[in-house]
Amino acid sequence: MKKCLVAVGLVSVLLGSAASADEGMWLYNAPPKKQLKSKYNFELTEPWMDHLRLSSVRFNNGGSGSFVSDQGLVLTNHHVGADAIQKLSTEGSDLIKTGFLARSRDQELPTKDLELNVLYDIVDVTDKVKGAVTKDMSAEQAEAARRAVKARLEKESLDQTGLRSDVVTLFRGGAYHLYRYKKYTDIRLVFAPEIGIAFYGGDTDNFEYPRYCLDMTLFRVYEDGKPVKPKEFLKPSQGSLKEGDLTFVSGHPGRTERQNTAAHLEFLRDVRYPMALQNVRRMEVLLRTFSERSPESKRRAQDDLFGVQNARKAYLGGLEGLQTPSLLESKRAKEARIKKALSTQPGLEARYGNPYADLEKALAVYRDLYEDYYLIGAGRAFNTRLFDIAETIHRYKSEMGKPSEERLREYRDSNLDSLKQGLFSTAPLYDDLETAKLADSLSFLLEVRGADDPLVRSVLDGKSPRTRASELIRSTRLKDVDFRRTALEEEVEDPMIQLAAAVDSESRRLRTVYEQQVAGPMEEAYGRLGLLEYEVGATAGYPDATFTLRLAYGPVLGFQEDGESVPAFTKIGGLFEKGERFDQAPPYNVPDSWMQARSRLDLETPFNFVSTPDITGGNSGSPVVDRKGELVGLIFDGNIQSLVLDFQYEDKVARAVSVDVRAIKEALSKVYQADFLVEEMGL
């Protein structure tokens, strides 16, 4: 195993200023050693961190997990695994609803397109990326130069190590680190509980607490047809976790917006969040009504529906934060101090320019661009996987004619295996659901751009959105995976590929404008702002979340809500009490398997708990460990008060929500009669 390189340069500089309370989604190569030592008298050692890092697993569909046995068993949330479980379900066999348990290796179900990554090491390449940009370059040239050097570094690293290699932009352009991952693609389903206990309380209880969820799934990672022996894996704690105990979370927070300027937060409040909410509300209404047609319709739409409901709650919570004046006021107060320093301290402006002005300029472009970019550049106007497949095939042909570093990011050599893994997935697609989604999104496009827009006319071909969607889905042959393989190599005629071709130039144009006039200049300006903030002593020491591995910490701790104390732990007994209190009516009905096991279960077993570590979406499935690095829990949610964490840390009432490992043992053993798993995990 290579040692994790400790970053030098910018990161160690930025680390200077400590974050408050238990704040922080810390880089593994810039960990909060001092904070842990001074507040908790805990020595964060390299072997301790290596063990946790190499036990941590990234689910590339947007979640986290961990190795929990020497036989490649990986623990994550049910809702992280749900996409894979849904793709393994069929009309007669709804594994989301019934759950699944493989009682032997040969019963384990190979997933369709899941990719897991384990972080092997990190290399600071800040100097190399920044060195590629010279003073005389325009913003567009600078962005192209950065893209080229990142692609080259990734390619060199892949060739040299065989590891998936991604250059990650940190501190919004303040630092660039090369992350090298061991990649696994033969992932098999071992155990999933039924949705009725995995997501007990449904959308109603999502982001709420107290909870009673067994939100877990077990996969097994294979390589060369055999279970892998991971370098490291987590052993379960045999102790008794209690309120006040220090815990650590190792996972992949997806995205936070804490470094944003006030103007950038206003953009989120006024443009991005309302647009995202408009889209998820459309989708929610569509999928709900689709679901109600029949039990099979419900089965087909359930994973999509969970996704949009979850997103709706998260965006609403975020928007509530953004719309609360105090958040922006504290941000503006901080900016006023920095701006004052910029205008009064000699040399600052010469060194850093005026990043605020540059950011406002880029945001002005983004505001104007946003709707079109969202719908066409980001493809939301064509809401069917069949369009994504068509676009990938169409673009593959032109992209592969260029050198790797000039290609769109997802077509670079280092990513081609992952791209094909998705493209050739045999996950089922249903004409009725794909038609409903495409029709609605085409209507959205028509509503926003108008019927006389040339692109809209070309897309709709003289038909209504519904008629056009129905015709496209019915006639495309891309539902056949073999046809996708043929289409990637040969010229084929297919209406969906023709559609992708028809919108490609506008879609690429929007993406180029976004990258060159928005993302690039913002990255560059935020990079300068990060250095400026450090120099005036106003930085947090960890970068915004980037769906890369981070370490967070904090104690198990209850909170106050509406004047009442909410205890840190729930117990298995509380599940049965809640089911009875609601007369076993959905979503509070206790599933049959649990009702039948009731007399065998120790009702005093801790079920879920809350703690203060700094997490967000993407952390789902993260292991929670104690001081010994032993597994005590499994992150699966935050409370509604935690949604403001996207913009600033808070530990009065914001809490991470976990499944207690003792409940996992109790359930596997007494509800699911899976003592062989209890034994394998050493529970």
* Contacts with a copy of itself, residue ranges (CB under 8 A): 202-204, 266, 269-270, 274, 278, 281-282, 284-285, 288-289, 292-295, 312, 319-320, 323-325, 443, 446-447, 450-451, 462-467, 582, 585, 587
Report the amino acid identity of residue 232. E
Q: What are the DSSP calls for 391-418, one per residue?
A: HHHHHHHHHTTS-GGGS-GGGSGGGHHH
Tokens of 553: 């910490």
Could you tell me which of 364, 301, 501 has the C-alpha nearest to residue 492? 501
Nearest distance, CB of residue 362 and a copy of itself, angstroms = 19
Tell me how far, at minimum, the Cβ of 82 lies from a copy of itself, in Å.
Answer: 20
Closest separation between CB of residue 315 and a copy of itself, Å?
11
Separation in Å, CA 22 to CA 19, 39, 246, 636:
8, 9, 10, 19
For residue 367, what are the contacts with CB-CB under 8 A and spacing of at least 6? 267, 271
CB nearer to a copy of itself: pick between 267 and 547: 267
CA dihedral 626, 630, 632, 635 (to 10 degrees): 90
Closest separation in Å from C-beta 287 to a copy of itself? 11
**Between residues 28 and 444, which has the closer beta carbon with respect to a copy of itself?**
444
Alpha-carbon distances, residue 676 vs 213, 227, 606, 680 (angstroms): 22, 16, 22, 6
Q: Closest separation between CB of residue 435 and a copy of itself, Å?
A: 13
Comparison of 239 and 295: residue with beta carbon closer to a copy of itself: 295
For a copy of itself, the closer of residues 587 and 682 by Cβ is 587
In the complex with a copy of itself, which residue's Cβ is closer, 94 or 515? 94
Integer Cα distance of 88 and 112 in angstroms: 7
Displacement of CA 222 from its chain's centroid (Å): 23
b/e burial code for range 81-91 (CB count within 10 A of at least 16 → b): bbbbbbbbbee
What minimum distance in Å lies between the beta carbon of 326 and a copy of itself?
9
CB of 519 to a copy of itself, least distance (A): 24
Shortest distance, position 277 Cβ to a copy of itself, whole Å:
8
| Residue 325 beta carbon to a copy of itself: minimum distance, rounded to whole angstroms | 6
Nearest to 22 by CA among 530, 611, 638: 611
* Closer CB to a copy of itself, 185 or 467, in the complex: 467
Choice between 193 and 465, CB closer to a copy of itself: 465
Cβ proximity to a copy of itself: between 284 and 515 the closer is: 284
CB-wise, 294 or 505, nearer to a copy of itself?
294
Name which of 401 and 462 has its Cβ closer to a copy of itself: 462
Q: What is the DSSP track for 516-564?
A: IIIIHHHHHHHHHHHHHHHHTT---SSPPP-SS-EEEEEEB--EEETTE
Give the span between the Cα atoms of 246 and 626, in whole angstroms: 6
Token output for 325:
């004046």
Determine the Cα–Cα distance for residues 404 and 418; give it in Å rounded to an integer: 15
Q: Report the alpha-carbon distance of residue 73 to residue 99 in Å, rounded.
A: 18
Helix boundaries (H) for 56-182: 78-88, 95-98, 126-131, 139-161
CA distance 143 to 173: 11
C-alpha of 643 from chain center:
15
Comparing CB distances to a copy of itself, the nearer of 61 and 278 is 278
Closest separation in Å from C-beta 583 to a copy of itself:
9
Compute the least distance from the CB of residue 653 to a copy of itself, in Å. 15
Distances (CA, A) of 274 to 79, 308, 322, 332: 25, 14, 11, 22
In the bound complex, what is the minimum distance in angstroms from residue 14's beta carbon to a copy of itself? Answer: 31
Q: Where are the alpha helices (DSSP H) in 15-119?
A: 33-40, 46-55, 78-88, 95-98
* 5 vs 336, beta carbon nearer a copy of itself: 336
Residue ranges of alpha helices (H) inside 182-292 are 195-198, 202-205, 262-267, 273-291
Q: Could you tell me the CA-to-CA distances from 89 to 268, 299, 515 in Å, in that order?
A: 37, 9, 39
Instruction: Pick between residue 469 and residue 663 the one whose CB is nearest to a copy of itself.
Output: 469
Cα separation of 622 and 75, whole Å? Answer: 9
Give 236's DSSP letter. Answer: B
Residues 6+ apart with CB under 8 A from 148: 132, 405, 406
103 Cβ contact list (under 8 Å, min separation 6): 674, 676
Rounded least distance, CB 560 to a copy of itself, Å: 17
Min CB(448)–a copy of itself separation in Å: 8
Decide whether 267 or 559 has the Cβ nearer to a copy of itself. 267
CB of 270 to a copy of itself, least distance (A): 6
Q: Quote the radius of gyration of the chain (alpha carbons, Å).
A: 25
**Given the complex with a copy of itself, which of 406 and 453 has the nearer CB atom?**
453
For the bound state, the minimum distance from the C-beta of residue 177 to a copy of itself, rounded and expressed in Å, comes to 36
Least Å distance between CB 319 and a copy of itself?
Answer: 7
Q: For the range 505-510, what are the long-range contacts, defined as Cβ-Cβ under 8 Å and sequence gap of 24 or more?
A: 506/376, 506/455, 507/376, 507/377, 507/379, 507/391, 510/369, 510/372, 510/373, 510/376, 510/377
Among residues 140 and 266, whose Cβ is nearest to a copy of itself? 266
Nearer of residues 282 and 397 to a copy of itself, judged by Cβ: 282
In the block, tokens 């990255």 appear at 523
Give backbone dihedrals phi and psi of 626, rounded to 5 degrees, phi first: -95, -170
